[in-house]
Amino acid sequence: MIYDAGNLFLKEKAASTYGTTPAASDNVVANTGGGNAYEAPWLVVLVTGAATAGGNLTIDLQTCDAEGFGSDVVTLGSWTVASGSQGEVIAARVPVGALKYLRLLLTGSASITGDAKITAALVLDADIK
């Protein structure tokens, strides 16, 4: 799996950053011109270091026509990373309906604890388990 910096939402971000208040990913990914790809990229989320602890983490993939993510935000998909997860925790195709920009919104069911680090990106290939 090859990461492209232009398609990276998070790189080794401390999972403990996320609590019960929703927080957007560090980076917004531009979907040039908007629209769906003939072959959709994969959203891959990795948890490295220690496993997540303290609560589940909900990850929403959102899209919008404005880079600042105003009022016309659409959620394309939502995944839950269970407490205690480690390794490749999400590998899913980007659903249809993508607009010009994509971001992740992360919310914990409780404060996330431990030394886990999260990397999330769009890639062209992923390991399916």
- Measure the CA–CA gap between 30 and 68, rounded to whole angstroms: 12
Which option is the CATH number for 5-123: 3.40.50.300, 1.20.140.150, 2.60.120.1110, 2.10.109.10? 2.60.120.1110
Q: What are the tens digits of pLDDT across the range 29-69?
A: 998 878 888 888 999 999 988 878 888 899 999 999 999 99
Residue 129 above 60 pLDDT? no
Report how far apart, in Å, the C-alpha atoms of 12 and of each of 17, 75, 119 are: 11, 24, 5
pLDDT of residue 128: 62
Calculate mean pLDDT across residues 102-113: 89
pLDDT of residue 59: 94
DSSP character string of 26-42: S-PEE-TTSS--SSPPE
Q: What percent of the chain has pLDDT over 70?
A: 98
Residue 13 above 60 pLDDT? yes
- Measure the CA–CA gap between 82 and 22, rounded to whole angstroms: 17
pLDDT of residue 54: 83
Instruction: Give the start-to-end residue ranges of the domains of the chain.
Output: 5-123
Rg (CA), the chain: 14
